[in-house]
Each structure stands twice: as C-alpha cells, then as structure tokens.
Structure 1
Amino acid sequence: MTLKLAPGKLVIASHNPGKVREIRALLEPYGIEPISAASLDLPEPEETGTTFAANALLKARAAADLSGLPALADDSGLCVDALNGDPGIFSARWAGETKDFGAAMRLVEEHLGRAPKDSGRDAHFVCALALCWPNGSEVEVEGRVDGLLVNPPRGTHGFGYDAMFVVNGQTLTFGEMDPEAKHAMSHRADAFAKLVATVF
C-alpha cells in the first residue's frame, strides 16, 4: 500500500523550537498544518534507540498514539570522524540539561584536541525523519550532509552545532547562512526531499 499524507493537521514530535521552525518551513507548501508536541503538552519519550532512525520512530509513534494525529519526528545529530562518530545520537545530550550548545561545541573541540593530530576535522550531519499514523502505518527516511568543523564557531543563525559546521564546497557555516540557504543543502532538507517523494 502506498502511504500518502493528506493536507491537514500534523504533529511535529519535537520540543526543540529550532527543529520545529525548520520543519514547519519545509511543510508549508504542502497544505499541512503543523502542531508542535510542546503546544499539545505531549511528553518527550526517553530516547532509548541506538540509531537516529530508531529514535525518530520512537518519538513519532508516541506522538501519533497520544494525539490521534499523524506525527513527524526528527532525530538528528553531528557525527565527527575523528571521534568515531560522536556525539552522534547523543548530540543533544552533549549540550546537557540546559541545552547549552555553546558548551557542547567546546566539548567537541576538547575531544578533538585529544585526537591524533592527523585526524582532520571531517564531520557530517545526519537527519532521520519518521512519519507515523495512529493506525500504525509508518515511513522512515534519512538524509546526510558532509562538511568540516571550524573553530571558533561563527554565526548566530540556526541552532545546535550549526555555527561550527561548513558544508563541503561552501565558506559559510550553517550558523552564518540565512535559513533559506541552509534549507537548500542541509541534512534535514535531504531527508525531507526523500519524504516528499514518498508521501506527497
């Protein structure tokens, strides 16, 4: 059976305002009315998955079950080659309880400082998107963008680790780019293009 998402209400299963803002902008052309999980007072489920995809599905299933509406969840993070893929699925947790990504970026630099000198600064962002319906149907896609880390971080746009990440072939960090420019090349945009091809 081909799953299609009809225009109407859709829960964005995230309490991260930056993610909600980006996903809302990506959904805008499709007649979707995004509602954040936070605005519905939905609890944040514990992310016990061992992959981005598993965590995205966990969050989307919980939001669809509790709201009775289709739900879209994103699980994404920064994977640094020299750190064996860390922080990876723990990207948000590196920011601590207060979600201090300035501290998280400093922590990445501390770990890089302990890595072998020839390790380089290659990194990539991953975004897994999971779309779940209350009837149990679900779709999962994954996007990726490769780049390099810079220090010190630059720019005040975006969120998370954006200010330290430069896409291969670009000169600006995600933190320096206008939202539209980031949307054109980000891991989330890559995943969303695959989702659109599947359900719209």
Structure 2
Amino acid sequence: MKKIVIATQNKGKAKDFEALLSPLGYEVLTLLDVAQDMDVEETGITFEENAILKAEAVSKALNIPVISDDSGLEIDALNGEPGVYSARYAGGAKSDDANIAKVLDKLAGVPENKRTARFRCVLAVANPGQPTETFSGSCEGMILEARKGEHGFGYDPIFFIPALNKAMAELVPSEKAAISHRGNALRELKQSMPTWLDEQK
C-alpha cells in the first residue's frame, strides 16, 4: 500500500482523509505518526498560502510527499470570518466549543436567511524536487442557532446543509465525504492527480 503523509496533528482531519484516500490504496499517516513535535507556523493570509507553507516545510524536512490542508469556515454576515483563523477563532488554544460559542454569540439575532456560510478547503501537494500543486473545494450551508449531531469536529455541529436537511455533525463519515469541502478538494486532486504522486510506491 502506498503511504501519504498529511501535514496535520488533527485526528478529525485524519479521519476525513482516510475515508477518501484509503479506497485509492493509500495508507494515511499524519504528523502524529512521523513527526509529532513538528509544528509549522501558519503565517499566510489565505488558505492557499498556509496550505503551501505547511506542505513544503514538512515535505522538505522529511524528504517525502506530503498533502497539507488549510480549511475553515467563512460566514457572510461576519464578512468572511473566521476564515483562516477558524481553528483559533476564540483565542490561542484550539477549542471547538469555544470557537462555536463565539460564532453563535456574534450571530445572535441574525435572521436565518442572513446566516449563509461555507466551508472552504485548499490542499497543497508537495514533494522534494517537484512543483507544489493546489486543489480547492467548498461546501455551502447555513449557521444554526444551536448545536446538532455527534459526528465530525470543528464547526460541524452548527453547519447546516439545506440539501440534506442535516447538520454536518449529523452525517456519518461516508456521507460527509460525499459532500464536504475537503471531499470536494480531494476529488479535484484525484481527477488531476500529480503524476509523481500516483507513481509513489
């Protein structure tokens, strides 16, 4: 089985990648498996800049192919916040509960038709000696007034998908993979798989 490293220590993201890449014959490894102490500072101002930063830094350090993901939630009523700051929206420590609470507080009193939002994901694929490539995906939805569902991670409990009449956190992994921003970005990656990545053994 081919191995691919995902430049993250987020177990939730790792599960998303496993659901999408395992059927393609890849064993998904994360920084928790190969470089637990490695933490790349995300200094970019866009999802694409951060994804490239992480992928290239980890690929160069480990001398292996790496996929990096930078993703987040964009809420129209908050002028695109939390955006690239999604993981630490409520402060330095990454806390899903605190981030959700801050979003719900800022949207208090905002009517349903003004609570439009989307999840965005940019993947960067880096390998020493090869040009880095990026792929993107999004998922449109609405922000709920209260949490729903037990699955997923991050903002999934307050992100409602009208087409399915469910919150993201009410979807099992296979359902989420079929419609999520990360799933859409990975399908774009699969369609245009860099030749060197497909040839990895």
Q: Same fold (TM over 0.5)?
A: yes
Indicate the percent of aligned positions where both proteins have the same amino acid.
38
The separation in 2 between residues aligned to 1:15 and 1:126, in whole angstroms, is: 19
Describe how 1:117-136 pairs up with structure 2 within 5 A: 120-136=114-130
Contact 1:72 1:131 in 2 (8 A): yes
Q: Which stretches of structure 1, 4 residues or more, deviate above 3 A after TM superposition?
A: 95-98
- Larger relative helix fraction: 2
Q: CA RMSD in A?
A: 1.7
Which residue is 1:80 aligned to?
75
Look up the equivalent residue of 1:144 and give its one-letter code. Answer: S
Corresponding residue to 2:187 among 190, 193, 199: 193
Contact 1:9 1:69 in 2 (8 A): no
Q: Which secondary structure does the structure 1 equivalent of 2:106 belong to?
A: helix
Query: How many Å apart are 1:176 and its aligned residue?
Result: 0.9
Q: Which runs of 5+ in 2 are unaligned?
A: none
Which residue is 1:183 aligned to?
177
Which residue is 2:59 aligned to?
64
Contact 1:70 1:131 in 2 (8 A): yes
Look up the equivalent residue of 1:109 and give its one-letter code. Answer: L
Corresponding residue to 1:19 among 13, 19, 30: 13
Which residue is 1:139 aligned to?
133
Contact 1:11 1:63 in 2 (8 A): no
Contact 1:127 1:187 in 2 (8 A): yes
Look up the equivalent residue of 2:182 and give its one-letter code. Answer: R
* Alpha-carbon distance change, 125 to 69 in structure 1, aligned in 2, over 3 angstroms: same
Is 1:103 aligned to residue 98 of structure 2?
yes
TM-score w.r.t. the length of structure 2 is: 0.90
Q: Which secondary structure does the structure 2 equivalent of 1:184 belong to?
A: helix
Which residue is 2:27 aligned to?
33
The 10-residue stretch of structure 1 (33-42 or 20-29) with the greater mean CA deviation from structure 2: 33-42
